[in-house]
Structure formats: structure tokens, C-alpha cells
Amino acid sequence: MWTFFHKLGSPPWLYGISGSILRYLLPLTLLGLVVGAVWGLLYTSPDFRQGNSYRIIYIHVPSAVVALAGYYVMATAGAVSLIWKMKMADIAMKSCAPIGAALTFVALVTGAIWGKPTWGTWWVWDARITSMLILLFLYLGVIALYEAYDNKEAASKACAVLSLVGTVNIPIIYKSVDWWYSLHQPASIKFTGESTIHPSMLYPLLLMIICFYALFTCALLMNMRSEILSRERRTKWVRKLAAGEGN
Amino acid sequence: MYFDSLEALLYMDGHGGFVWAAYAITLVVIVALLIAPRRRQKKLLAQLAGELRRERGAPSHSPTAVEGDTHASGS
């Protein structure tokens, strides 16, 4: 157990193992995304009330779900780096932010596009949508804050605090459709009780959610690898690696 | 397949523009998300390789210290 944690803190080990994971996970993820998208776009019937516009669900819900989950990953990594000063946790936190921002952006944009034919408007200042916009600003805030400091340690500390404080927003997003009167429909998939979505629509949606999680993992590992190289550029193993790549 | 023809698939009873735009934007973001770290990594390694060559003082010298390196294949 402890040797595992020890290894986890070792940059060359993490770089190597993440490379091996990516070699299988990345093609699998891309394949899954294509299958899920084709399934959702071509092989499901339209929603009886929303027609074909509902097909946006197969990218809107997964991106929103993973954008939220990614925030937990970022905040947890931030907490670990703050408490135990673990270098890899700091790298993980920094690497989460652009992915989370991108996924939140996708969720907001696809939501706006879905809103136009369904609600008749691109945008409403609704609790769910506004709290998602705050999530986007939190992610962007972490990115900007990291760049604002010259001192890496101070930057890492400030970002960890910001991401931890921002965690307050996450339950608000989850509960926003229940707490406030909202245009946004409540969740259709429930862990407890009956889901209010037909199985023929549920399965491709679940596949897409899984693939978006995998996509997040891939992008996170890739970001971490490039960040590891950048920080370890003066070390022997990175120089050796560069010498091998350069010819 | 639900749609009878390619036109029906593209048109989607009037919702095609919305659906396809949403998927296109998502695709662009995903591609950017995966390409950015790869490019950064490639650039960094190339830069480091250049530095190493200059340090050795011989631009034509090809480095040999790659045997037994398990990480080199991972990128």
C-alpha cells in the first residue's frame, strides 16, 4: 500500500504507467464515443415531445456530468496538495482545470442549442444554467490564478484554496432543479427508484457517460504527462527521453 | 436505423441544424482537448533534444542513450 503511494509520487513511474494506460484507453474511448454518437443519432427513436432535438442529450448530459465529477477530482487533488504538499497532486489539479472548463463549455453550448427549439430561447438566467456558468468561471479562475503567480508554490496554494471553496457550487448545481422552479428538466436517471427514460435511450446515454469519463481520464493523463515533463526537464530521465525522441 | 434517407438524417424534421451544430462543436472541443497536450509534449521534447545537442557541441552527433529506456515508447 505505502509503496504504491510512494510510486504515485514518482514522476518517471507515473509517466511510464500513464503512457501504457493511454495506449489502450485512448483508442477504446474514441471508439466508444463514435459508437455512442452513432447509436444516439441514428438508431434511437425521437422523443415523443421534443422530436429529434433531444438527440443532443447524448453529449449534453455526459459533458455536464463529467464536468461536475471533474471538479471533485480537481478539488480533491487540491486538498491533497495543500495538506501533504504532494507534487503529483498539484500537477493533477492543474491538469484538471482546462478539461473541466472545456466540458462545462460543451455542456453550456449544447444546452443553449437544445434550449432554442425546446424552450424557444438560447439562454435563461435559470438556477441550473447560472450555477453551471459559475462552474465554468471557477475552472477558468483556477487556470488564470495559476498563470498569475510567478511562484509555483504560491500559485498551487491559491488554486487549491479556490477550488476547495468552489466546491460549494457543486451541490447547488445538483439540487438546483429541485430547489428552484426551473425550465431545466430534473434528472431522468436515478440510482434509487425508476429512471424516467426509456431503456432504448438509456443505454446509449450510459455508454456516452462512461466514454466521457474515460475521455476525462485520458485528457487528464495526457495533460499530466506534459506537465511532468515540463517540471522535470532538468532531470536525467527526461533528458534521456528527449535524447531518444530527438533523433 | 431510424431515418429513411440521408436527407432525413441531416434534416431531422427541422432540428438537424441544432443537433449537428451541437455535435460539431463537441467534436472540435474534444479534438482540441486531446491534441493540445500532445503538441505541448512534442514541442518540449524537441526543444530539450536541441538543448542537449548544443551542449554536446556537435550538431551532427546522434544521441545513443536510449537503450533500456522503458519510457521512450510511451509517448
Q: How crowded is residue A93: how many other Cβ atoms within 10 Å of its Cβ?
A: 25
Partners of B53 on chain A (C-beta within 8 Å) are: 246
Interchain proximity A117–B23, CB inside 8 Å: no
Q: Please give the grid coordinates belonging to residue A104.
A: 462545462
Q: Please report the pLDDT score of residue A96 as a whole number.
A: 96
CA distance A128 to chain B (A): 19
Q: pLDDT tens-digit profile of B13-70?
A: 778 888 899 999 999 999 999 999 999 999 999 888 888 888 877 655 455 554 444 4
Indicate the residue of B2, B44, B50 with minimum beta-carbon distance to A230.
B44
Examine residue B64 and state whether it is found in any structural domain, yes or no. Answer: no
Q: Please report the pLDDT score of residue B69 as a whole number.
A: 46
Query: How far is the C-alpha of A119 from the C-alpha of A112, rounded, in Å?
Result: 10
Q: Please report the pLDDT score of residue B60 as a whole number.
A: 53
Q: pLDDT tens-digit profile of A10-49?
A: 889 999 999 999 999 999 999 999 999 999 888 888 887 7
**Mutant choice from B11, B12, B18, B25 vs A, greatest count of A C-beta within 10 A:** B18
CA distance B60 to chain A (A): 10
Asked if residues A227 and B52 have their Cβ atoms less than 8 Å apart, the reply is no
The domain limits of chain A are: 12-245
Average pLDDT over residues A177-187: 75
Q: Report the share of chain A in percent with pLDDT over 90.
A: 54
Q: Could you write out the three-class secondary structure of A112-172?
A: HHHHHHHHCCCCCCCHHHHHHHHHHHHHHHHHHHHHHCCCHHHHHHHHHHHHHHHCCHHHH
Examine residue B58 and state whether it is found in any structural domain, yes or no. Answer: no
Nearest residue on chain B to A110, alpha-carbon basis: B22
Examine residue B15 and state whether it is found in any structural domain, yes or no. Answer: yes
Indicate the residue of A63, A230, A247 with minimum beta-carbon distance to B62.
A247
Q: Report the share of chain A in percent with pLDDT over 70.
A: 94
Query: How far is the C-alpha of A13 from the C-alpha of A160, rounded, in Å?
Result: 24
Interchain proximity A242–B52, CB inside 8 Å: yes
In eight-state DSSP terms, residue A47 is: B
- Residue B1's SS3 state is coil
Range in A30-34, A81-85, A155-159, A182-186 with the lowest mean pLDDT: A182-186
Counting the structural domains of chain B, the total is 1
Nearest residue on chain A to B32, alpha-carbon basis: A102
Interchain proximity B70–A23, CB inside 8 Å: no
Q: pLDDT tens-digit profile of A108-162?
A: 999 999 988 888 888 888 888 899 999 999 999 999 999 998 888 899 999 999 9
Indicate the residue of A16, A37, A116 with minimum beta-carbon distance to B70.
A16
Amino acid identity at B32: A
CA B44 to chain centre: 15
CA atoms within 13 A on the CB side of A139: 25
Residue with C-alpha cell 493533477?
A: A92
Pick the closest to residue A88 from A225, A217, A216, A222 (CA basis).
Answer: A225
Indicate the residue of B22, B46, B66 with minimum beta-carbon distance to A59.
B22
What pTM, to 2 d.p., does this model score?
0.87
Q: Please report the pLDDT score of residue B26 as a whole number.
A: 94
CA distance B45 to chain A (A): 5
Asked if residues A241 and B44 have their Cβ atoms less than 8 Å apart, the reply is no
Pick the closest to residue A152 from A97, A87, A101 (CA basis).
Answer: A87
Domain range enclosing B28:
1-52
Q: pLDDT tens-digit profile of A215-225?
A: 999 999 999 99
Angle at Cα A170 formed by Cα A102 and Cα A125, nearest 5°?
Answer: 75
Evaluate the CA torsion angle A122, A125, A128, A130 in order and state its sign. positive
Interchain proximity A117–B21, CB inside 8 Å: no
